[in-house]
Amino acid sequence: MTDIQTTAPTRSPSGYDLTPPDDAERSRLEADLSPEEKRVLLSHGTEAPFCGTLLGEKRAGVFCCRECGLPLFRAATKFESGTGWPSFTQPVDESHVKAITDRSYGMVRTETQCARCDSHQGHVFADGPPPTGLRYCINSVALSFVAEGEALPDPLGRGDGNA
């Protein structure tokens, strides 16, 4: 007997399917990650500052979750924070990024996770520029960049749009 999904997929206001991957899908997604990606995305690690491959990315496009492909940040919201990690003022859709209280290392911070697959992305701080005053400080290894006009990654086969 196979499991049948009895609830409708959860959709974000911008139309993306936020239904979490099932166990088989999650295993397949995680098997495709490098050891460094696994350390950051699955074990809440942090890449070294000024080393991420997307820090200097300036083309128009969108930054997606490296694990499940959900669009997280538009290039137009990226700014140079001087921190050594790609920084953004706001997500593509507020429902695509979850905020989790992080009390590790004797600090209280707000961790950001992908709302679909729960992968660790980075942290958000209230010291960013207008219009939001927020700085989403995100690990490059947690993202994949898609140039404007190119097809978004769709590792779950959900048919979610173009950049």
The torsion angles phi and psi of 100, rounded to 5 degrees, stand at: -125, 135
Other Cβ atoms less than 10 A from the Cβ of 151: the count is 10
C-alpha to C-alpha distances, 29 to 2, 33, 107, 155, nearest whole angstrom:
21, 7, 31, 7
Cα–Cα–Cα angle for 137, 21, 63, rounded to 5 degrees:
30
137 is catalytic: yes
Residue 71, strand partner residues: 64
DSSP states of 8-42: PPPB-TTS-B-PPP-HHHHHHHHHTS-HHHHHHHT
Q: Which of 64, 65, 114, 137 is catalytic?
A: 137
Catalytic residues: 137
